[in-house]
Amino acid sequence: MYVKDTIAAISTAIGEGGIGIIRVSGPEAIEIVNKIFRSIRGKSLLEVDSYTAHYGHIVDSTEEIIDEVITLVMKSPKTYTTEDIVEINCHGGMVPLRKVLDLILKEGARLADPGEFTKRAFLNGRIDLAQAEAIIDLIRSQTETGLRVAMNQLEGGLSQKVGEIRQDLIKLLAHLEATIDFPEDEIEDFNSDELSDRIDGIAKKVEKLLRTSQKGKILKEGIETAIIGRPNVGKSSLLNALLREKRAIVTEIPGTTRDIIEEVINIDGIPVKIIDTAGIRDTEDIVEKIGVERSEEFLNRADLVLLVLDAHQGITAEDRKLMGSIKEKDAVIIANKLDLDSKLDFTEIEEILTDKPIVKTAAVENQGIDELEDVISNLVFSGEIKNEDQTLITNMRHKNALDRAYQMLLDVKKTFELDLPNDFITIDLRAALEAVGEITGDTIGEDIIDQIFADFCLGK
């Protein structure tokens, strides 16, 4: 059972900051904070209006001033959690924040679990589960596009689509169940075409949502892109050009990069994690050898490989070996150092790697970088999408639920073709309804809810 006690936590990031906020929520929130807050104007928080701010001090049991603060009082039910909330804006340092939190806990509040404020917003019915999950996505979004998609979900974009599917299922079920329960009544049985059409219609809506999940996953998680190549071909120079800053050390000495360097860039809203690796070659140097092994690991693991060739030197035996090893991967060939004379045989590259795009660059002069970004963007989204519908499936939990619902609907179609009685159909339809309902949390177990919120930040 859900006990409505009063919870408190530091809601701002840990560390030094301009201000730091402590949030208290629950039936005792105002009373508890009132005990340790001294308003400059002598006002009691018990008497103030909702959504008002009050300047004053936090004091300990000996009336010693701990911090100078602004408190914000928000009264149930129009608050983040729908409970009474008091927020204390302290000076942003860990010592004052911890001390003030301590005092609040001593007055009877309990330290909130991670995500517990948002969990209460969900349990109290202000937002559904998909909206609650959007809040954490919003906080963790890596690009503006990611933020927009999370915001759309928070505003109920996904919930609305899921709600429609649920309504369709409920209507269909109601009709079918009426014909089962009251066969003698005048309720018209669907003719088979009609029933089949309705199921197809619902399945299509589910499928349409499912189709967005690949793009959604990429937007949320980004793509790992490894820059691979022989020593000295210009991998680190390419990383720097993509980042537009001198991040990695570049020298004319082969074997300069020893360890992996990772940075995230934003290409058309996609978070692209660029990994600069050590040049791959046979080496006796112990440190370099480890670097080379790690490079090979990243080559295998990456979602996308940028294979850099040195156009000035032409293709070597080592390049051929590397080209052979990326045949099965999504990859772009970078013909670098094209500001110098080129000895590169493009037909040979095209013969080995028939379907891979080739981009011509001069990394040290930032040439060809925009084109490379276009190629990456097109590869990832295969030409489709950019700014259409912002409702995307970005969450594996949602995808799994939709996958199951879709499977059920296919099963319904099969049952139906076998001409089995209606209650066989309704069992599968109910299961589909339940699966879809998991997304918004209408049908979901407590343990899964706990698991979802446990992944949130403290104070959220």
Ligand X SMILES: Nc1nc2c(ncn2[C@@H]2O[C@H](COP(=O)(O)OP(=O)(O)OP(=O)(O)O)[C@@H](O)[C@H]2O)c(=O)[nH]1
Binding residues for (6S)-5-formyl-5,6,7,8-tetrahydrofolate: 23, 87, 126, 460
* Distances, alpha carbon 206 to alpha carbons 161, 164, 211, 265, 409, in Å: 9, 10, 9, 33, 9
Residues 6+ apart with CB under 8 A from 205: 161, 164, 165, 168
Choose, by CB under 6 A, the member of 14, 40, 44, 78 that binds ligand FFO. 78
Choose, by CB under 6 A, the member of 25, 237, 422, 440 that binds ligand X. 237
Choose, by CB under 6 A, the member of 71, 79, 237, 426 that binds ligand FFO. 79
CA torsion sign, 446 to 395 to 302 to 277? Answer: negative
Of the candidates 398, 405, 453, which has an alpha carbon nearest to the alpha carbon of residue 429?
405
Q: Which tokens sit at 303?
A: 């979602």
For position 295 contacting ligand X by CB under 6 A, the verdict is no
Answer yes or no: are the C-beta atoms of 235 and 308 closer than 8 Å: yes
DSSP string, 288-321: HHHHHHHHHHHHHH-SEEEEEEETTT---HHHHH
Q: Which amino acid is at 366?
A: N
Of the candidates 379, 358, 243, which has an alpha carbon nearest to the alpha carbon of residue 308?
358
* Shortest Å, Cβ 1 to ligand FFO: 24
* Shortest Å, Cβ 357 to ligand X: 18
* Total site size for ligand FFO, rule CB under 6 A: 7
Helical H segments across 329-395, by residue range = 346-352, 369-381
Choose, by CB under 6 A, the member of 28, 83, 87, 438 that binds ligand FFO. 87
For position 240 contacting Mg ion by CB under 5 A, the verdict is no
Which C-beta is closer to ligand FFO: that of 33 or that of 242? 33
Which C-beta is closer to ligand FFO: that of 120 or that of 399? 120
Q: Show the site string, 157-196: x = touches ligand X by CB under 6 A, - = not.
A: ----------------------------------------
Choose, by CB under 6 A, the member of 161, 273, 337, 460 that binds ligand X. 337
Answer yes or no: are the C-beta atoms of 390 and 157 closer than 8 Å: yes
* Shortest Å, Cβ 392 to ligand X: 36
d(CA 30, CA 40): 17
Choose, by CB under 6 A, the member of 279, 437, 441, 459 that binds ligand X. 279
Choose one: 55-63, 78-86, 234-242, 356-364; the region binding ligand FFO (CB under 6 A).
78-86
* Shortest Å, Cβ 363 to Mg ion: 11
Q: Which does 159 bind (CB under 5 to 8 A by kind): Mg ion, ligand FFO, ligand X, none?
A: none
* Shortest Å, Cβ 349 to ligand X: 17
Which C-beta is closer to ligand X: that of 364 or that of 410? 364
DSSP state of 212: T
Residues 6+ apart with CB under 8 A from 50: 73, 74, 75, 78
Q: Which does 363 bind (CB under 5 to 8 A by kind): ligand X, Mg ion, ligand FFO, none?
A: ligand X
Answer yes or no: are the C-beta atoms of 84 and 75 closer than 8 Å: yes
Which C-beta is closer to ligand FFO: that of 9 or that of 261? 9
d(CA 203, CA 407): 9
* Total site size for ligand X, rule CB under 6 A: 24
Q: Which does 337 bind (CB under 5 to 8 A by kind): ligand X, ligand FFO, Mg ion, none?
A: ligand X
Query: Which parts of 253-312 interact with Mg ion (CB under 5 A)?
Result: 256-257
Answer yes or no: are the C-beta atoms of 46 and 37 closer than 8 Å: no
Which C-beta is closer to ligand FFO: that of 76 or that of 283? 76
Helical H segments across 24-143, by residue range = 29-36, 94-106, 116-123, 129-140
**H or E stretch including 37?**
strand 37-39
Choose one: 127-135, 208-216, 336-344, 412-420; the region binding ligand X (CB under 6 A).
336-344
Which C-beta is closer to ligand X: that of 28 or that of 310? 310
Q: Which amino acid is at 7?
A: I
Task: Identify the burial level of 17 via C-beta atoms within 10 angstroms of its C-beta, where 0-12 means exposed, 13-18 middle and 19 or more buried.
Answer: middle
**Which stretches of the chain bind ligand X, using CB under 6 A?**
229, 231-237, 250-252, 254-257, 278-279, 336-337, 339-340, 362-364
**Residue ranges that bind ligand FFO, judged by CB under 6 A:** 51, 74, 78-80, 87, 126
The site for Mg ion (CB under 5 A) is made up of: 235-236, 256-257
